[in-house]
Structure 1
């Protein structure tokens, strides 16, 4: 009987999303699939008949990192370019800090469609996080594939730079991001955000404009 409230809650959530929040019809299947996937995961790993108890799992920081990575990745894609169902499911795992599960779904995504640049990019991010910030050979390959199938998208280079920064190579990060800005169109939607992040990196590295020698401000 404990499953009935869970199923009812899932149905209620879907109804609210569709009728109250006006979820577009094109997203109904994706949203329903995410709910069903959540129920399936709970069925495999949960025990609704047992009393609640603390369990080991991803830290709050890992979950926050996953959420930020998903949001940052989507900044490089228009809202009309929806990710595949595998990427949507992988993002749900990433937001919970479960990067190994996310990577497994993303491997399915690129196996089904090797031309899915966003899936390759998300796979690279998941592999880096699963390796505790290390840029592994598998992650580097995923980033290179993302760049190959979407050569006009700056996201693979940006996230490669971010991975290098976490690996303790800020100089290489700065070189990659500076080159991106030099080649970016002046009206690129992502340009202001990258400029801001490069300025923050310069501040951390102690790089800034030359001191004013005119005597002002003294």
Structure 2
């Protein structure tokens, strides 16, 4: 089989797999289709689609980055709706080791919903994972912009702290979480989660 046939089969398998797993809404389906078309165009431009496919030798596979955001977002963000489905699609790509495509899906979603704090938080996470876990200026901007869009929500500051902790910046994570606690109501349901994270930072420092 030549490269076009192989690529078409892979695209079909990807679309079918995502449909079975998350059954995306129409807008999210269009975003996924757009991402696949971008990949096809990139292959046509830089690849060799007319060459016959053949097995290659073993190679070092880059492991998928740890995605604490994907593990914890259910406690902080809505799990239903178009934004949640876009995050589901991005999470699936991140877990398969493709954070760049996750960024593309989230940016496309933001073109339709630029004031969605949820999507901006997801974008900050995806950018950080694309940078091998580092909270780069674009990632920090995405988290901070989410905070501006939803100033009463604890999620932007929480997930900024989570990304900073994941990158090894314990001081930055502590600053973000302590600032969040300072503004939180005494009876906030999520207060104990943040306090546990701060206690974990203290334990990590004691082991240094």
Shared fold (TM-score, shorter chain, > 0.5) = yes
Relative to structure 2, which stretch is displaced further, 168-177 or 95-104?
A: 168-177
Aligned to 1:60: 63
Aligned to 1:213: none
In the alignment, the residues of structure 1 paired with residue 14 and residue 96 of structure 2 have an alpha-carbon distance, to the nearest angstrom, of: 19
Aligned to 2:108: 108
Q: Which runs of 5+ in 1 are unaligned?
A: 208-218
In the alignment, the residues of structure 2 paired with residue 7 and residue 97 of structure 1 have an alpha-carbon distance, to the nearest angstrom, of: 16
In the alignment, the residues of structure 2 paired with residue 11 and residue 176 of structure 1 have an alpha-carbon distance, to the nearest angstrom, of: 38
Residues 58 and 192 of structure 1, relative CA distance in 2, 3 Å threshold: farther
In the alignment, the residues of structure 2 paired with residue 14 and residue 117 of structure 1 have an alpha-carbon distance, to the nearest angstrom, of: 24
Q: Is the 8 A contact 1:118 1:146 kept in 2?
A: yes
Kindly name which structure, 1 or 2, has the bigger radius of gyration based on alpha carbons. Answer: 1
Give the drift of 1:71.
Answer: 2.4
In the alignment, the residues of structure 1 paired with residue 124 and residue 105 of structure 2 have an alpha-carbon distance, to the nearest angstrom, of: 12
* TM-score w.r.t. length of structure 1: 0.65
Residues 128 and 169 of structure 1, relative CA distance in 2, 3 Å threshold: same
RMSD, matched Cα? 4.1
Bigger relative contact order, structure 1 or 2 (CA pairs below 8 A, ≥6 apart)? 2
Aligned to 2:177: 177
Aligned to 2:124: 124
Aligned to 2:151: 151
Relative to structure 2, which stretch is displaced further, 169-178 or 49-58?
A: 49-58
Residues 80 and 40 of structure 1, relative CA distance in 2, 3 Å threshold: same
Q: Which runs of 5+ in 2 are unaligned?
A: 44-48
In the alignment, the residues of structure 2 paired with residue 61 and residue 124 of structure 1 have an alpha-carbon distance, to the nearest angstrom, of: 17
In the alignment, the residues of structure 2 paired with residue 7 and residue 124 of structure 1 have an alpha-carbon distance, to the nearest angstrom, of: 27
